[in-house]
Amino acid sequence: MRVCVAGAYGAFGIKHLDAIAAIEGVTVTSIMGPNLAKIEALAAARGIGHWASALAECLARGDVDAVILSTPTGLHAEQAIACLQAGKHVLVEIPMADNLADSQALVAAQKASGLVAMAGQVRRFNPSHQWIHNKIKAGELKIQAMDVETYFFRRSNMNAKGEARSWTDHLLWHHACHTVDLFQYQTGETCEKAFGLQGPLHPELGIAMDMAIGLKTPSGVICNLSLSFNNDGPFGTFFRYICDNGTYLARYDDLFDGNDQPIDLTGVAVSNNGIELIDREFFAAIAEGREPNAAVGQVLGAMATLDMIERSF
């Protein structure tokens, strides 16, 4: 498998390069980033033979079978569609688009191409959430409610590496997208009710810095989601699963019971790295000619729910 990573020198581009290095039979043959000097330096450091500042140059290459897009959110749908039209399988980082119409266009493009198009819904793959999902499938757990906190301290336009961004992140279309998709994936239902409240817009960034979201499935399972870019403290997303048979707290790839005792996740997955696991699923789906978990069509329901929330503001 020969892969291009676009947005390669960004925080998540580097994560994907590191993950691919742990996967046999996959080679990064091309990387792309808008700053030619930075992308050339990364290619030299990683021993990658081709680099470019334009995605079209990478897509024209015969030694690229698939593309991982770790580019700015506003470009995701357009670039993913371009990959499919060029005959390349594509994994697009979360979110696959920042509005419902572009999400629908991407799903239509995937159906027309017959290629693998996958959204970067990494929470489906974190071992902590996989453990819960396996228990649900086995009939050993049923979710009654979820309480989720997504907290960052981001009052300027910086990325996870502490570098200035050329684009603006979004609590709803990026960070809430993780939880909305996971909630619907774990319950096996699409929300019938969803609403949101947002605080004042940042005077320079133009985005809400605080948000509250409520979700409800047709069977009555609810989710409360709190998000903030104003939280000065430990950052990340913390999930509390309140179930009929226990309470569980997921913190990234770790899982604890309701009394904060760790749960052994040995054997749940071949790796504890969620990015590696999502990349493995992408490459396996291509090799096996099947639809991957988190295919763009599977995630469209989450995008529709985000649209419902946005219209409630």
User: For the domain that residue 227 is a member of, what is the CATH number?
Assistant: 3.30.360.10
Based on the domain organization, do 162 and 307 belong to the same domain?
A: yes
CA distance 104 to 127: 29
Based on the domain organization, do 167 and 191 belong to the same domain?
A: yes
Residue 313 has a CB neighbour count (10 Å cut-off) of 11
Per DSSP, 95 falls in state: P
Q: What is the pLDDT of residue 157?
A: 65
Nearest CA to 118 out of 305, 290, 304, 267 is that of: 290
Q: What is the pLDDT of residue 234?
A: 77
Based on the domain organization, do 115 and 154 belong to the same domain?
A: no
What distance, in Å, lies between the first and last C-alpha atoms of the chain? 44
Alpha helices in 139-244 (DSSP H): 177-187
> pLDDT of 160-209, one tens digit each?
556 666 667 889 999 999 999 999 999 999 999 999 999 999 988 888 99
Query: Structural domain tally of the chain?
Result: 2
Based on the domain organization, do 107 and 132 belong to the same domain?
A: no
CA distance 3 to 66: 5
Q: What are phi and psi of 267, to 5 degrees?
A: 90, -5
Based on the domain organization, do 179 and 305 belong to the same domain?
A: yes
Q: Look up the pTM and report it.
A: 0.94
Based on the domain organization, do 247 and 288 belong to the same domain?
A: no
CA distance 279 to 130: 15
Based on the domain organization, do 225 and 251 belong to the same domain?
A: yes
Based on the domain organization, do 127 and 241 belong to the same domain?
A: yes
Strand partners, 227: 150, 211
Q: What is the mean pLDDT of each run of 10 residues along the chain (313 residues)?
A: 97 96 98 97 98 98 98 96 98 97 98 98 96 98 97 72 69 96 98 97 90 98 96 89 97 92 96 96 98 98 98 95
Q: What is the pLDDT of residue 50?
A: 98
Q: What is the pLDDT of residue 205?
A: 85
Q: What is the pLDDT of residue 162?
A: 64
Q: What is the pLDDT of residue 166?
A: 67
Q: What is the pLDDT of residue 163?
A: 67
Domain containing 22 — which CATH number? 3.40.50.720
Nearest CA to 118 out of 287, 289, 304, 285 is that of: 285
Which stretch of DSSP H or E encloses residue 90? strand 89-93
Based on the domain organization, do 267 and 286 belong to the same domain?
A: no
Q: What is the pLDDT of residue 20?
A: 98
CA distance 255 to 247: 11
Q: How confident is the prediction for the chain on average, in pLDDT?
A: 95
Structure tokens at 232: 């000065």
Query: Residue 177's domain spans which residues?
Result: 123-271+301-312
| Exposure of 263 in the CB half-sphere (CA atoms within 13 A) | 23
Based on the domain organization, do 50 and 132 belong to the same domain?
A: no
The single-letter code of the amino acid at 97 is A
Based on the domain organization, do 118 and 245 belong to the same domain?
A: no
Based on the domain organization, do 154 and 77 belong to the same domain?
A: no
